[in-house]
């Protein structure tokens, strides 16, 4: 699937010149048993002590318990095409009761609070991001046949009226719908987040940020590029070039992805953005930044710095409240090992 | 050669006459499930698309094929567990205008055998059948 290709062509870009910020310490949470070992993840979600981890290349969603050690609790879903099985899972949606919905290559699979499979429905448009709000799945997808980006679905798969108008002038006269869908899925790449009342769309390539209420009404609009400094402007310039020269995105050998951030996570009043790090301009920085935004104003509150060594990788992270404070976790590929790491002040 | 013989025997066992070339299976509709025969007879020069695969999305390899299948004489046969909402979403996404029918168990068995004959490890591949008129050979392609 194209997401795997995106990972293959993925190159980390553009460290900020920001020197101010809080350097975090990394604390590896040891695995308590062999089955708890995690591999590089595309998404992860906490429900209390439990962490659900999408192991995309292995076609499975693993459940572990995170305390002083990481212990294996089972699989929410494993590889397959039958009910309750997944194929290239990519994102987790958490419902209010803590139950999980898995977005995979086919669609959305619903599980209950005991991790038992309930039902699923298919979607056919190309995934950008999804979240759960007020009894509906909100699905951002690349559909060249539509003028909007976000599609609400009821749990039984009924599609509602699309909203969030496309804000880029993509050349739709190029004819090949697959190519158009592929290009749109890159140019509109972003994350949907929710705090249970408001829906956030944060675009990775041009910095567009929208908030909507749960009736799809636009509440606010902002551009986040400035937060990322001069490198943010460079990312947008690169993507404008793709927009004007779409054939650059259609090379059979792939193309370079220019993103402002890798992943975003919302917890209480904070939105955390895992900022993309530069590997193109000749140096590997010693840290990877997490920008903390105020969810109401979408303004920068703080920069957190994660110590980061050459050859290490992580693209996703999650946070939970521990002892009244936010604690961030990432699954970091450290070369020989992949570890669950708590990021502490 | 053994594989070809096996496939021929397998298909003969189900009443389908088969011949195989490097890229596809040619078979007569004799012995095919009724739903397939009906689809063919209604559209003597038509095409039947059997959608069983998991890779049905607008940027998956199958998407390219589906985006090109917009003619009215096309019949799309889907897994019986497809809901009406899913069918609607599918047709809308690929801007298709043909008919959609839900397959049954007999078709599923037939598809599995076709997949075995094509040495597919994943039998739930999507198939496109092109009818050349009446009960004459059918060209079967996977995508």
Confidence of residue B42 (pLDDT cuts 50, 70, 90): low
**What does the pLDDT read at residue B60?**
80
Interatomic CA distance for residues B17 and B28, integer angstroms: 6
3-state class percentages of chain B: helix first, strand second, coil last, to nearest 5: 35, 20, 45
Q: Give residue B47's domain range.
A: 2-142
- For residue B51, give the nearest of B74, B79, B80, B85 by alpha carbon: B79
Chain B nearest C-alpha distance from A240 (Å): 22
What is each CA distance from B132 to B69, B99, B101, B135, in whole angstroms? 17, 19, 21, 8
Minimum Cα–Cα distance from A106: chain B residue: B54
Contacts B76 to A, Cβ<8 Å: none
Please state, rounded to an integer, the average pLDDT across all residues of chain A: 89
Q: Give yes or no for residue A193 having a pLDDT over 60.
A: yes
**Domain count within chain A:** 1
Of residues B59, B90, B124, nearest to A185 (C-beta): B59
Decide: A40 and A286 in contact? Cβ < 8 Å.
no
CB pairs under 8 A between A and B: 74
CATH number at A100 reads: 2.120.10.30
Helix-helix angle A2-9:A177-187, to 10 degrees: 50
Tell me the angle at which helices A177-187 and A229-244 cross, rounded to the nearest 10 degrees: 170
Q: What is the pLDDT of residue B51?
A: 82
The number of distinct structural domains making up chain B is 1
Closest C-alpha to A178, from B57, B91, B71, B126: B57
The 8-class DSSP code of residue B5 comes to: H
- Can you give the pLDDT at residue A82? 87
Higher-confidence position of A276 and A214: A214
Mutating which of B49, B54, B82, B97 best tests the A interface, going by the most A Cβ atoms within 10 A? B54
Residue of B nearest to A155 (CA): B85
Q: Tell me the H-state helices in chain A.
A: 2-9, 177-187, 229-244
pLDDT tens digits, one per residue of A278-301: 544 455 667 788 999 999 999 999
pTM, full prediction: 0.86
State the pLDDT at residue A5: 41
Q: List, for residues B80-122, the tens digit of each pLDDT value.
A: 889 999 999 999 998 888 888 888 877 777 777 776 666 666 6
Q: Of chain A residues 129-148, which have a CB less than 8 A from chain B?
A: 142-145
What distance in Å separates the CA atoms of residue A278 and residue A45, rounded to the nearest whole number?
26
Contact across the interface for B58 and A121, Cβ inside 8 Å: no
Angle at which helices B34-42 and B105-117 cross, to 10°: 90
CB B29 within 8 A of CB B40: yes
Q: What is the pLDDT of residue B8?
A: 40
Which of chain A's residues have a Cβ under 8 Å away from the Cβ of B89? Answer: 122-124, 157, 159
The string of pLDDT tens digits covering residues A258-270 is 999 999 999 999 9
ipTM of the complex: 0.83
Q: What per-residue confidence (pLDDT) applies to B117?
A: 66
pLDDT at A205 over 90: yes
Domain extent at residue A221: 2-344
Name the residue facing A81 among B54, B59, B95 (closest C-beta).
Answer: B54
Residue of A27 and A172 predicted with greater confidence? A27
User: Chain B residues with CB inside 8 Å of A121's CB?
Assistant: 83, 85-86
Q: Which residues of B touch A157 (CB under 8 A)?
A: 83, 85-86, 89
- CA end-to-end distance (rounded Å), chain A: 38
With a cut of 50, say whether residue A174 has pLDDT above it: yes
Section A19-27 average pLDDT: 88
A-chain residues near B59 (CB < 8 A): 1-2, 126, 142, 178, 181-182, 185
Comparing CB atoms, the residue among B57, B85, B124 nearest residue A81 is B124
Lowest mean pLDDT of A39-43, A340-344, B74-78, name the range. Answer: B74-78
Mean pLDDT of A52-68: 96
Tell me: the pLDDT tens digits for A103-150? Answer: 998 899 999 999 999 999 999 999 999 999 999 999 999 998 899 999
Nearest Cβ partner for A124 among B56, B64, B83: B56
Segment B110-138 shows an average pLDDT of 67
């Amino acid at each position: 699937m194209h997401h795997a290709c995106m990972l293959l062509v993925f190159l980390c870009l553009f460290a900020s010149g920001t020197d101010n910020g809080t350097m975090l310490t990394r604390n590896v949470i040891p695995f308590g048993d062999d089955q708890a070992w995690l591999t590089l993840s595309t998404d992860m979600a906490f429900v209390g002590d439990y962490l659900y981890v999408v192991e995309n290349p292995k076609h499975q969603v693993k459940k572990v318990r995170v305390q002083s050690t990481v212990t294996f609790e089972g699989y929410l879903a494993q590889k397959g095409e039958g009910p309750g099985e997944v194929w290239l899972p990519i994102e987790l949606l958490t419902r209010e009761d803590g139950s999980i919905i898995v977005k995979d290559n086919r669609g959305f699979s619903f599980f209950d609070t005991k991790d038992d499979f309930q039902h699923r429905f298919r979607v056919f448009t190309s995934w950008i991001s999804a979240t759960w709000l007020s009894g509906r799945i909100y699905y951002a997808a690349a559909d060249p046949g539509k003028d909007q980006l976000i599609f609400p679905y009821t749990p039984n798969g009924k599609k509602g009226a699309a909203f969030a108008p496309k804000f880029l002038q993509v050349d739709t006269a190029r004819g090949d719908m697959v190519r158009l869908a592929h290009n749109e899925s890159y140019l509109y790449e972003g994350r949907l987040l929710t705090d249970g009342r408001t829906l956030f769309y944060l675009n990775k390539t041009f910095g567009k940020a929208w908030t909507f209420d749960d009736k799809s009404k636009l509440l606010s609009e902002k551009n986040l590029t400035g937060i990322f400094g001069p490198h943010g402007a460079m990312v947008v310039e690169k993507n404008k070039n793709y927009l004007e020269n779409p054939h650059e995105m259609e090379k059979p050998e792939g193309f370079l992805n220019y993103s402002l951030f890798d992943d975003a996570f919302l917890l209480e009043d904070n939105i955390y953005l895992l900022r993309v790090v530069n590997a193109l301009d000749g140096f590997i920085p010693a840290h990877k930044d997490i920008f903390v935004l105020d969810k109401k104003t979408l303004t920068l509150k703080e920069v957190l710095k994660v110590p980061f060594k050459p050859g290490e990788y992580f693209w996703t992270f999650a946070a939970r409240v521990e002892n009244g404070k936010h604690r961030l976790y990432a699954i970091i590929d450290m070369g020989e090992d992949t570890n669950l790491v708590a990021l502490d002040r | 050669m053994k594989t070809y013989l096996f496939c021929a025997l397998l298909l003969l066992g189900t009443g389908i006459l088969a011949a195989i070339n490097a890229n596809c299976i040619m078979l007569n509709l004799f012995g095919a499930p009724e739903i397939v025969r009906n689809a063919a007879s209604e559209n003597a020069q038509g095409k039947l698309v059997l959608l069983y695969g998991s890779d049905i999305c607008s940027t998956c390899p199958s998407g390219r094929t589906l985006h090109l299948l917009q003619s009215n004489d096309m019949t799309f046969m889907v897994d019986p567990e497809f809901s009406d909402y899913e069918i609607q979403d599918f047709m809308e996404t690929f801007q298709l205008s043909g008919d959609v029918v839900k397959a049954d168990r007999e078709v599923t068995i037939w598809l599995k055998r076709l997949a075995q004959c094509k040495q597919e490890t994943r039998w739930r591949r999507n198939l496109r059948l092109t009818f050349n008129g009446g009960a004459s050979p059918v060209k079967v392609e996977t995508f």
